[in-house]
Structure 1
């Protein structure tokens, strides 16, 4: 546990809450795939996770309460460890523990996993061009824009940029 949050591997009992959050317009409409997902689709996705060494998916918990979802997905079909590029995604759900610093805590935990545990070469993410809060968050974390893709800004984070940003942000979690 760090930054007041914990990343826990997704369990079957997390699925209904994650699906409810994922299907809410405020979250779904920020994603590349904006379709509503059914319980069956989500179960199929969950079963497939057990066979994927190139990805990690977590439930974000704060004070023991589900607060969001976080993932890292390798660019290649190989174990996530030491991949040169991985994609990152996260969203926060409506929970009793939601607070202004929760997104930063979630992202710091995710990126620590990516760079410290999995030794990734860089982490990329896509953010809707009009999602100002996500763009501000990613800028604070050290991400830099490297392109655009159909209404999304393509952002990339190098380890050195992240570690410099993390040092500035850690003071909020002491």
Structure 2
């Protein structure tokens, strides 16, 4: 299977409806603190607010120039930058979640130059929990949270220090399948 080119580009007006469709999929919404359906006017307001935001960034994940998901960061400039992601398309290259994980760490510690990256994952969301553990995140705590619809859930908090990623990156990638290591060489940020 051909190794994909993965690009992460800023959100543009022509992609906001696609992002809203992804974000409203039940498999994505059920893993978000804001688990309500997003209306088109809400999406436009969100997009308009991005131009003034200095503490958050959103990137569309393009796989061979096809939009397939999102990578986003908040609390940029604070002691701990938070991040999240999702894959909105069903037909993606196997290992795309691992590509998102590598991209998040490289972008946060390279481009954004943050000291600590934090990920919070609902307790039942097993795949990202396992990925964070595989990559060497430190498990911090489990805390209670309520979704916007009022559902109580537990969030597992993970953190990664920049110095740890810089020291561990090669060893982490060496543990991954060969095709993922090859794909990691084709991650680009715009």
TM-score per shorter chain, which class? 0.7 to 0.9
- Rounded Cα–Cα distance in structure 2 between residues aligned with 1:38 and 1:50: 20
Deviation at 1:163, TM superposition (A): 3.1
**Aligned match for 2:120, one of 94, 109, 126:** 126
Residue 119 of structure 2 corresponds to residue 114 of structure 1: no
Deviation at 1:164, TM superposition (A): 4.4
Deviation at 1:95, TM superposition (A): 4.5
- Rounded Cα–Cα distance in structure 2 between residues aligned with 1:119 and 1:84: 11
TM-score of the pair, normalised by structure 1? 0.87
Residue 162 of structure 2 corresponds to residue 173 of structure 1: no
Deviation at 1:55, TM superposition (A): 1.1
**Secondary structure of 1:37 counterpart:** coil
- Rounded Cα–Cα distance in structure 2 between residues aligned with 1:161 and 1:23: 35
Deviations 1:51-103, CA, capped at 9 Å, x for gaps: 001111100001000010001112xxxxx4x642100010001154x133111
Q: Which entry has the higher C-alpha Rg, 1 or 2? A: 2
Residue 99 of structure 2 corresponds to residue 105 of structure 1: yes
**Secondary structure of 1:154 counterpart:** strand
Tell me which moved more, 103-112 or 42-51.
103-112
Runs of 4+ in 1 over 6 A off after TM superposition: none
- The residue number in structure 2 matching 1:147 is 141
Which structure's relative contact order is higher, taking Cα pairs within 8 Å and 6+ residues apart?
2
Cα-Cα RMSD: 1.7
1:42-61 correspondence runs (5 A)? 42-61=43-62
- The residue number in structure 1 matching 2:65 is 64
- The residue number in structure 2 matching 1:17 is 18
Q: Kindly indicate whether the alpha-carbon contact (under 8 Å) linking 1:4 and 1:105 is maintained by their aligned counterparts in 2.
A: no
